[in-house]
């Protein structure tokens, strides 16, 4: 039986929040459940989109460590633009480079952006917060 080719998605842009099966424990295989991830950079390899994404979780959003920032319901407009269902923190010190295909990414429930892994975007009002987290992760 032939192995199915992965379905490739159109290249996202940095700042997109996507639905990702982020690898666990630094093992390069898809994690067991999809979660939000923040696209930090996007490019191509062998004519296919490749992204670097930061880990997102809805756990312990009130406990931020160096390299982390949260998008909370109190962020109102930014929370809505992110397309998140729950307050979520992103760890800019925990990143992975992944092929932008259906092995690693999936269409989120309700398909808010059509047949794309995109949930939403990082609102411009959160750029300082994200930049501070990025700078803090480099000092770890």
- Return the pLDDT at 139: 65
Indicate the pairing of strand 68-71 with strand 16-20. Answer: unpaired
pLDDT for 43-102, tens place per residue? 999 989 999 999 999 999 999 999 999 999 999 999 999 999 999 999 999 999 999 999
Is 41 strand, coil or helix? strand
E strand spans, 2-140:
16-20, 35-45, 48-57, 68-71, 88-99, 118-121
pLDDT for 93-127, tens place per residue? 999 999 999 999 999 998 888 999 999 999 999 99
């Amino acid at each position: 039986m032939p192995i199915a080719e992965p379905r490739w998605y159109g290249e996202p842009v940095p700042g997109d929040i996507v639905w990702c099966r982020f690898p666990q424990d630094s093992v390069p295989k898809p994690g067991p459940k999809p979660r939000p991830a923040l696209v930090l950079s996007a490019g191509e390899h062998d004519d296919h989109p490749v992204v670097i994404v930061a880990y997102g979780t809805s756990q312990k959003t009130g406990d931020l460590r160096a390299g982390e920032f949260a998008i909370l319901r109190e962020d109102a407009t930014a929370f809505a633009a992110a397309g998140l269902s729950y307050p979520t923190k992103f760890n800019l010190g925990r990143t992975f480079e992944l092929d932008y295909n259906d092995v690693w990414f999936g269409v989120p429930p309700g398909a808010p952006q059509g047949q794309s892994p995109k949930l939403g975007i990082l609102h411009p009002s959160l750029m300082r917060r994200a930049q501070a987290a990025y700078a803090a992760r480099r000092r770890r």
